[in-house]
Amino acid sequence: MRSRQRMFAAVMRLLLKCLRLGRRRRFKLVRQVEQLWHYGHLCLRSLLYNSFTNSDVVLDSLFEPVYWLVDHVTRWFGVVFVALVIGLTSSIVAIVYICLLPLILQTYTPAWICWHLAYGHWNLIMIVFHYYMAITTSPGHPPQAKDDLTGVSICRKCIAPKPARTHHCSICNRCVLKMDHHCPWLNNCVGHYNHRYFFSFCLFMTMGCIYCSISGWEMFRDAYAAIERMKLLEKERLQVAANQTYYQTPPPTFSFRQRAFHKSVVYLWVLCSSVALALGALTLWHAALITRGETSIERHINKKERQRLQKKGKVFRNPYSYGGWDNWKVFLGVDMPRHWLTRVLLPSPHLPHGTGLSWDLPPCVTEQRTPLLAI
């Protein structure tokens, strides 16, 4: 009897211990859930730490991993895009020299031959020179020492001096002087020291593509018609072979050289026309920005500033614009009339006006304008 009582008491004690452990585990789980809830609540409130925070800041915070991925992927894709530009341009030049140039020398008059040789090679030299300079020239970066600059702000990302018209490039992870944009086709930023090279490359590449499209239009039509005849004759040949009519003579087939020639002409015209349309639109866009004395980034900043001042009944004037004609002279570095030939129509590695740290009045500007607002 006593042994049964002892056994029952031991079982009850064991049961009570299990209940106590269960309560402790439940209490521990509840504490962890409360801690996670307070931590999440604190993170949410940290997004609303001041009155300047709005829905855009919240969305930027949520999309920060996406931005990081795009920045790093674009950085690696730049090498691929540069190789693609070099490969496509080289293929067009090879087709012109191998396929079209012999035909031009055989069929065109001496005057037209001289025109095509002179213009084609001049355009090619300008394209190669400006693309090489746009890739290899640094856009310009502000100095890291704060004592070297006065009256400038501090970049909140790289914690360094940020002069006027300077912006931070998240792909290069550096501030760029007079930054326009990061171009993956150059694998480089477009800034103060290589902006002219970038625009000149776009302009001369567009001119070269338009030249190839116009001069090769008749050849493209003949080549396209020949390819259609190839397909038709190939279809007839297959039908003859299927019917096994040995008394019929199979239609003649085109040689590999003829096929390659016609397909190369079609490839050249389609590629040049497509690039002329796309790159031509980009060139016109940048030409409009240069005329207004703006960069791509400043265009958005000036638009918002113009709308803000318009509501107050005021007029915004871009402090870096000297008028359409003078803006082009400053951008191209034309200080005297002969520079239109030596610096615009011929390859020239001359530096732009100023250092990109301060924006004094260039010597080529005819009228001095007093800025109303500074950006």
Rounded to an integer, what distance in angstroms lies between the CA atom of residue 176 and that of residue 165?
Answer: 9
Q: Which one, of 320, 53, 37, lies nearest residue 166 by Cα? A: 320
175 given a catalytic annotation: no
SS3 192: coil
* φ, ψ of residue 254 in degrees (nearest 5): -80, 145
Tell me how long the chain is. Answer: 375
Residues in a beta bridge with 183: 188
Residue 192, number of CB atoms within 10 A of its CB = 26
Contact 122, 146 (CB under 8 A): no
Amino acid at 48: L
Q: Which of 226, 175, 200, 222 is nearest to 347 (CA)?
A: 200
Concatenating the DSSP letter of every residue in 215-232 gives HTHHHHHHHHHHHHHHHH
3-state secondary structure of 139: coil
Q: C-alpha distances in angstroms, 137 versus 22, 56, 140, 187, 190?
A: 70, 35, 9, 11, 10
Tokens of 143: 């100095």
Residues pairing with 168 in the sheet? 175
Count CB neighbours of 145 within 10 A: 9
Q: Which of 175, 183, 189, 202 is catalytic?
A: 183
- What are the backbone angles phi and psi of residue 213, rounded to the nearest 5°? -65, -45
Active-site residue set: 183
